[in-house]
Structure 1
Amino acid sequence: MLVTLLSIATLILVFLIRFNNRIPILMYHRIATVPGERNSLPPEKFKEQLDYLKKHGYNTITLNDLYNHYSLQAPLPPKPVILTFDDGYEDNFLIALPMLKERNMKATVFLIANWVGKENKWENFNHQLTRTMKWEQLQQWKAAGMEIGSHTLEHPFLTQCDEVRLLEELMESKRVLEEKLAVKIEFLCYPYGFFDDKTISTVKQCDYKGALAIFANAPLWKQDMYALPRIPVPSRQPLWEFVIKVSRWHIIFIMLRKLERGVKYLIRK
């Protein structure tokens, strides 16, 4: 019995040492109450989460902060966490931004360059019709100290693109956003979380500092700036689970989701 307890304690210690410097990266989409849409977080829940982070001493950082930490050993504040928004919906500006500014917090939005200021008609999954941020709103987002990244030109499955289309999606989206917003675009978010070796190679070719996935295919035992795993925050997120997702144990949640995805894939086969 004693040997078993010592073995478990040793495994926990090794785990904590191995993953102690991993920073939780949260993934949001809409901040809105939309019945039946898993990726739309009600504003009151978003407020609850921000208040928890503030109360418990968490500090929001940017992806550039993360890059400088891993590449240049730049120090980070205590209990760092990264907040990211996919697609750039207008409610991110109207609802999320005031909450972030009120608490002096930072966040990163990933934009679909050809869909800025337009209705979300790239989503053919019966999603509620809404709009993305306009260029003027994105200028205000930037002026508030928030970060901006690319989510490609059209939001395709990058692993299904030929080499010409892949290069265009990554390079042209970067060019458009930099030209319109006068800001350096240094990070990419993979649409649907899908990527492969060819995708990563092209991302590097386009001079991005890093890229974000979800959890599928993202390596956990090593830190790869071009395959950073993120933690989705669904619409019915209970606070107790959110607490785990921003703790040093967040990597366990990612591992369990990877395992769940793997089991489902085997069942379908």
Structure 2
Amino acid sequence: MLSTVRFSGLVLGTALSASITVQAQDYLPILQYHHVSASSPASTSVTPEQFMEHMDYLKSSGFQVVDLRSALDDLKANKPLPDKAVAISFDDAYQSIYQAGFPILKERNFPFTVFINTEPVERNSSSFLTWAQMKEMQANGGVFANHTVNHPYMLRKESGESDGDWLARMEKEVDTVEALLVKHLGHSPKMLAYPYGESDRQIRTMMKEKDIIAFGQQSGVVSADSDFENLPRFPAAGSYANLSTLKTKLDAKPMPLLSEKTGGDYATDQPVSIQLTFKEGKYRFKDLTCYVSGQGKATLDWVSDVEVVATADKPFGVGRGRINCTMPDESGQHYYWYSNVWIRSSPEQGYVSEKS
């Protein structure tokens, strides 16, 4: 595949007043699916008709569907991606991916990645993929990656479990799948999707030490500046399956941030806040909007020309809560996009301490 580089505003010598612009892309939106079925839970599903609509839109609109791991390697190395590059991913090894999703992908020659939890695969559950099906899909653009063995809440300890035993159990969840991928499919792409999107500093450090790229469930666009142990993806199922809103996400850019301060992975009984510091540039700061899940718009306090603090009005309830921020670019045709997730735990859930 040929890729080109953008040299925006490059002037060669003093005699040339024109600029040379060659299209390329230094960021990647990634779509996240689960079921492709009309009979599975609506919150994590697209119907086959919806999935075909999404894929047809990608093809007709000139999107270049790329292999996820290869594209991430290029971004990390500051190599350009094709213009309108996008990647497709699925979480969980559901049989509907093979039955309804794979034929659509194969017909369009679209590469895709499936993050598999191997326990139901190994016990031959009729609702999950078989290794033979995965081999067939692998021969037609499919890549299979790590979603742990048992799909646990990775930050929850079992009753009576020490912090050390918990971390060892999580390492086994990861290593077992890596070994099974190599055994049955010949290799591992060294990528993992956190079950429920949950991770903390210890888990992300484990991923970094194992040289595994990992994904959360916050929305956003990947760039070379992203945290490659906690990458964003755009959910494209359930309430997010509407094509008109999906178009906006496919055209999104990464928020041009120099730094962020989130206060950690866990929310408390106080409203969360996040401080964002922007890179130098010409941005439409007056149009920046941050939304708190279940609460509406966050309060924005600008502490300098390039620093803003977004604060929720109320504490989160138990579970996961988000702040999503968007801002139109200068052209008004794209949105910069950023999201952060916090966990509000309760004592009976057994979450590992943030300080441990």
User: How would you bin the TM-score normalised by the shorter chain?
Assistant: 0.7 to 0.9
Give, as a single letter, the amino acid of the residue that structure 2 aligns with 1:193.
G
Partner of 1:82: 87
The secondary structure found in structure 1 opposite 2:114 is strand
Q: Give the Cα separation in 1 of the matches to 2:185 and 2:116.
A: 12
Unmatched tracts of structure 2, length 5 or more? 1-24, 158-165, 257-287, 295-310, 319-356
Q: Give CA deviations for 1:48-88 in whole Å, capped at 9, x if unaligned.
A: 01011101110111221222212223332220111110001
Instruction: Confirm or deny: 8 A CA contact 1:117 1:133 kept in the other structure.
Output: no
Q: Give the Cα separation in 1 of the matches to 2:52 and 2:219.
A: 28
The secondary structure found in structure 2 opposite 1:38 is helix
Say whether 1:260 aligns with 2:276: no
More helix by share: 1
* 1:204 maps to which of 202, 208, 211: 208
Cα distance, 1:264–1:186 mapped onto 2, change above 3 Å: farther
More strand by share: 2
Say whether 1:94 aligns with 2:99: yes
Say whether 1:73 aligns with 2:106: no
Instruction: Confirm or deny: 8 A CA contact 2:143 2:189 kept in the other structure.
Output: no
Cα distance, 1:201–1:217 mapped onto 2, change above 3 Å: farther
Instruction: Confirm or deny: 8 A CA contact 1:215 1:258 kept in the other structure.
Output: no
Instruction: Confirm or deny: 8 A CA contact 1:116 1:135 kept in the other structure.
Output: yes
Range that drifts further, 95-104 or 187-196 = 95-104
The secondary structure found in structure 2 opposite 1:24 is strand
* Structure 2 counterparts to residues 116-131 of structure 1, below 5 A: 116=121, 131=127
Instruction: Confirm or deny: 8 A CA contact 1:148 1:185 kept in the other structure.
Output: yes
Cα distance, 1:55–1:265 mapped onto 2, change above 3 Å: farther
Instruction: Confirm or deny: 8 A CA contact 2:28 2:85 kept in the other structure.
Output: yes
Q: Give the Cα separation in 1 of the matches to 2:313 and 2:151.
A: 25
Q: Give CA deviations for 1:101-120 in whole Å, capped at 9, x if unaligned.
A: 11111110001122216577
Structural RMSD (CA): 3.0
Instruction: Tell me the percent identity.
Output: 26
Instruction: Confirm or deny: 8 A CA contact 2:37 2:47 kept in the other structure.
Output: yes
* Structure 2 counterparts to residues 1-150 of structure 1, below 5 A: 21-34=26-39, 37-116=42-121, 131-150=127-146
The secondary structure found in structure 2 opposite 1:215 is coil
Q: Give the Cα separation in 2 of the matches to 1:100 and 1:149.
A: 18
Q: Give the Cα separation in 2 of the matches to 1:104 and 1:81.
A: 14
Larger Rg: 2
Q: Give CA deviations for 1:114-140 in whole Å, capped at 9, x if unaligned.
A: 2216577xxxxxxxxx61110100001
Unmatched tracts of structure 1, length 5 or more? 1-19, 121-129
Cα distance, 1:189–1:58 mapped onto 2, change above 3 Å: same
Q: How many residue pairs are counted as aligned between the two chains?
A: 238
Say whether 1:228 aligns with 2:231: yes
Q: Give the Cα separation in 2 of the matches to 1:160 and 1:95.
A: 34
- When the two structures are superposed, what TM-score results if normalisation uses the length of structure 2? 0.60
Q: Give the Cα separation in 2 of the matches to 1:176 and 1:151.
A: 12
